Structure 1
Amino acid sequence: MAPRLIGVLLLLVLLSACSATRVVRLDMGRGQTVVPLDGQPPASQWAEVDARVTREYLRFCEAIGKPGDCRGVLMNSPLLSGDSRYALAMSFAIDAVIPEMMEAFKDMADPEAIKASILWTMTLYASMWMAPEPVFSKGIATVVTASFICYIGVDTFWTLIQGWRRLAKLLSTEGTSLNKLVTRSQ
């Protein structure tokens, strides 16, 4: 009983020590903080572009007869920005294989939900490699990559990497309109 009680107490001490956040506040004696605490945050340089691409995307969805978020890329944001634009471009890029996938999944589940989950999984996987945090996201991405390479082969995987790099470069330079996203990602 005593070793078990000591183990539980030691575990509680370690858990409480590891759960505390470390904050360092350096007071140089120079008065107020440099960071302004009031006022509006600066506007994003992409705010106008994001709004325009979102409007074009919603018009595109209406034109194909599926009003609203037809590709499932808006999720929790009212605008197409960042990862949403990557997911949208990825959805246009893999449109060639989607009809076969939809046919295979039509009796098992909602094909649109499966398509959206595949697109977001691919987008988040590629984004994990670009994340600045080196330990956790890189570890997960490494395990997923090793499993994926074993499944599809090195050549196919390398082609996917080159395609993602090209897509990311195009989005950063030319992702200012839906028409450019559609034509450049095909």
Structure 2
Amino acid sequence: MDAEQLTTIHGQTLEGPLLIKPRVFGDVRGWFYESWNLRAFNQAVGEAVVFSQDNHSRSIRGVLRGLHYQLSPEPQAKLVRASVGAIFDVAVDLRRSSPSFGKWIGTELSEENKHQLWIPEGFAHGFLTLSPTAEVQYKARGFWNRSCERAIRWDDEHLAIQWPKHALHGEKVSLSGKDAEAPSFSAVQSTGDLFP
């Protein structure tokens, strides 16, 4: 497994998230890879991670889920991959003490490239489905907790995430009712629903 830090569109490195690239062994018969290995993963992230739950979603092209995060006492970290299709996956730094506070990174995760994105606590997460359908699986550290759950608008002007909408072939972005009503980044800052 290889792991690398990602940079923002302006070249700034975000400390925390890592792009995980498993080693894939294949031939004309097919392929094999370890989608997760405790020892290799903990070495890559530099800490002992204990996952609490596995999640699995299926979406059609244009579905955008996010930007979601959970505050204390039950923040969540996620290891995300697309086992079917392709998504554009995003992490936004919500740690007020971070030099990259309010910055984002994004990368394509797909059935083809088999990449994964590690998103530690302190970040909001979202993804846009690029393929006709996509199945997204992620391991989570920390249980889902409705009272800790928060969201930020996917198209917030301050964050200015460059979602690859050109890949939707004319289809519109599709949101859940909850995500469509998510507050702006500035509103979240004013309520203090962020990380230290």
Which TM-score bucket, shorter chain as reference? under 0.3
> Larger radius of gyration, structure 1 or 2?
1
Structure showing the higher strand proportion among its residues: 2
Question: Structure 2-normalised TM-score?
Answer: 0.24
Structure showing the higher helix proportion among its residues: 1
